Amino acid sequence: MQSKVNTCVCGALWVMSCVLTLISAQDTHMARALRLMSETPLIDGHNDLPWQLRKQFNNQLNKVDLNTLPTTHTNIPKIKEGRLGAQFWSAYVPCDTQYKDAVRQTLEQIDVVHRMCQKYPETFMFATSSQDIMEAFQQNKTASLIGVEGGHSLDSSLGTLRTMYHLGVRYLTLTHSCNTPWADNWRVDTGSEPSEHNGLSSFGKQLIVEMNRLGMLIDLAHVTVRVMNQVLDMSAAPVIFSHSSAYSVCPHKRNVPDEILRRVSEKQGIVMVNFYNDYVTCSQTANLSNVADHFDHIKKVAGANIIGFGGDYDGVTRVPEGLEDVSKVPALVAELLRRGWTDDEVKSALGNNLLRVLREVEKVRDSLNGAVPDDVPIPYDEVKNSCRTSHGYPDPGNAAAAQSLSLLALLLSVALHSLITPTAL
């Protein structure tokens, strides 16, 4: 009997020793993660808190306290715990605003980000550049940048694109989940919607060139593979996927195929991994380890230098176990370290990759300093609808009359020429 007791005691001690060793290892990885996050800003590519402010409060920020807001993935205590160094806040409005009030509603989303920074200056610093991000990080504030999610927010206007840039917008997601008059969205690749442009229209290509000139990041989340390839072919600057994961791990059309991962690497761009369960495991359930699988796969296929974080918090209905809100991101960093990622690889994914991309986009902008803004509008026939006026475009009736007069003048000129020209003998 005594022998059995001794065996049980030894077994229990062995199990406890293993548990303590495991806890110690986890603590070591977390301590290392927090150290790296104190040295390099965690830059997240996509957060929809501004849309939650619209949905829950109609942007009445005076009625909200972000120190205590309990109904979102994101609030100030969670941001602090999650060591969030910089955030691209999404200025998103749904596709049903297209051809209606998309521009107004998007401007209101841009406004609410500005006001959020003004209301909480001890936490947020509005940022528009790589230098701003580092200055905010040194001040222990979260650099707050803006990305417009969906080309329908422009109403097919290069002037609107430029105006939004002047208001601080630093990326445009070319489509959301609807085609624009100049680009196809990801649903085309599922077969649920028809292609309207075979990727980008001529105006869509104009827009890419103008974004390069402005220094605005081109975001390829939400577009077709055809659009991805077209932009990668023509953009002078690196591109981003602000919140997309790896297609080979989860074959959802919102994710990035391996061949595109390799092309992004060639262009020195970045893919910022999305945490939405449906894009992580192609099911309604997922966990932190499943998200880390996407990081591992992208690193294996294209290298650690194209990876970033694009959680999509407050824009999705399901998030992985272990990544329930923005406060949990250090646990993912610790998991990458547990899987053998080096300090340099982790720092690249945390923020150095995005900083490099942004600096290169700024460099391309500066190299194009002498280029004039493109002011050739989209053809009216491509945007004609009951909610749009045609001011500035030629009147169709006058244009037809002018064309007839030109033809008549040409015929008269030919007739006169034949009358005054001697006939050859």
In angstroms, the CA 358 to CA 217 distance is: 7
In angstroms, the CA 107 to CA 273 distance is: 27
In this structure, which amino acid lies at residue 402?
A
The DSSP element (H or E) to which 217 belongs, if any, is strand 217-219
In angstroms, the CA 298 to CA 291 distance is: 11
Active site members:
46, 48, 149, 176, 222, 243, 312
In angstroms, the CA 258 to CA 425 distance is: 73
Residue 136 phi, psi (nearest 5): -65, -40
Query: What sign for the dihedral angle of Cα 169, 152, 313, 237?
Result: negative
Strand-pairing partners, residue 256, are: 246
Burial class (CB in 10 A: 0-12, 13-18, 19+), 7: exposed
In angstroms, the CA 25 to CA 277 distance is: 27
Q: Are 158 and 383 in contact (CB under 8 A)?
A: no
Question: What number of H helices and E strands is found in the chain?
Answer: 16, 9
Alpha-helical segments (H) within 58-129: 76-81, 102-119
Q: Is 98 helix (H, G, I), strand (E, B) or coil?
A: coil
Query: Hey, how many other C-beta atoms are within 10 angstroms of the C-beta on 69?
Result: 18
CA-based end-to-end distance of the chain: 135
Query: Hey, how many other C-beta atoms are within 10 angstroms of the C-beta on 1?
Result: 5
